[in-house]
């Protein structure tokens, strides 16, 4: 008896999704070029031909990314000829577990496999379980990073140090003991006070 081929065994074409959110990621080897090379290698291994690449230079905190939106729409339109979507790592797709699962489910509904070029992914229940764990870890790492940044900014503020941004009106940025701090600038403050007074007097502010 001849086994009937599954739908995506007859499909040999694939898409690639690339994402970089910061220059630091580029410097650490996550550049679009290095991601694409890894995806090409994985596609060649699977005997798939890459026909189009989609990319974003945005955070993966949500699904509102032009490249991702275009990818999903192309998958919907081309579901009869696309076998897989390749990404460098699953966290390139999303760093929110719920979003990742929604994207994976949507692609599965089109008969398209989501494949990581550098991580174990596949169609079996065990593969899906591992993928979900990796997605949860990506979300956890993202939240931990945000928490560290928040605590660092709070610590710098409490120490009177700069945490980025423009100095408040009446202050100037200086370097003291190799540390950037705000310093009250009396001339600027006096000028600001006079400006506010004139506006109040002339414009009848209250």
The pair phi, psi for residue 2, each rounded to 5°, is: -90, 125
Report residue 36 as tokens. 């694409």
Report residue 185 as tokens. 């600038």
Q: Which CATH number fits domain 7-122+135-146: 2.40.240.10, 3.40.50.150, 1.10.3720.10, 3.40.50.1390?
A: 3.40.50.1390
Q: Do 70 and 47 meet the contact criterion of CB atoms below 8 Å apart? A: no
Cα–Cα distance for residue pair 95/122, rounded to 1 Å: 19
pLDDT tens column, 85-99:
999 999 999 999 999
Cα–Cα distance for residue pair 164/88, rounded to 1 Å: 32
Chain centroid to CA 37: how far? 19
Paired residues of 179 in beta bridges: 176
pLDDT tens column, 107-160:
999 999 999 999 999 889 998 999 999 899 988 888 887 788 778 777 766 666
Domain residue limits, the chain = 7-122+135-146, 171-203
């Amino acid at each position: 008896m001849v086994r009937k081929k599954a739908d995506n065994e007859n499909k040999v074409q694939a898409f690639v999704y690339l994402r970089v959110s910061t220059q630091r990621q580029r410097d650490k080897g996550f550049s679009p070029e290095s991601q694409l090379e890894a995806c090409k290698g994985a596609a060649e291994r699977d005997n798939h031909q890459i026909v189009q690449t989609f990319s974003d230079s945005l955070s993966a905190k949500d699904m509102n990314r032009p490249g991702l939106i275009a990818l999903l729409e192309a998958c919907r339109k081309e579901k009869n000829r696309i076998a897989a979507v390749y990404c460098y790592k699953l966290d390139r797709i999303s760093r929110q577990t719920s979003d990742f699962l929604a994207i994976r489910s949507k692609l599965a509904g089109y008969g398209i496999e989501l494949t990581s070029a550098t991580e174990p992914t596949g169609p079996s229940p065990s593969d899906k379980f591992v993928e979900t764990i990796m997605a949860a870890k990506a979300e956890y790492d993202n939240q931990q990073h945000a928490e560290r940044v928040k605590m660092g900014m709070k610590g710098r503020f409490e120490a009177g140090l700069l945490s980025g941004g423009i100095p408040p009106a009446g202050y100037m940025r200086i370097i003291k003991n190799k540390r950037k701090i705000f310093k009250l600038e009396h001339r600027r403050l006096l000028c600001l006070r006079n400006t506010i007074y004139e506006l109040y007097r002339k414009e009848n502010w209250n």
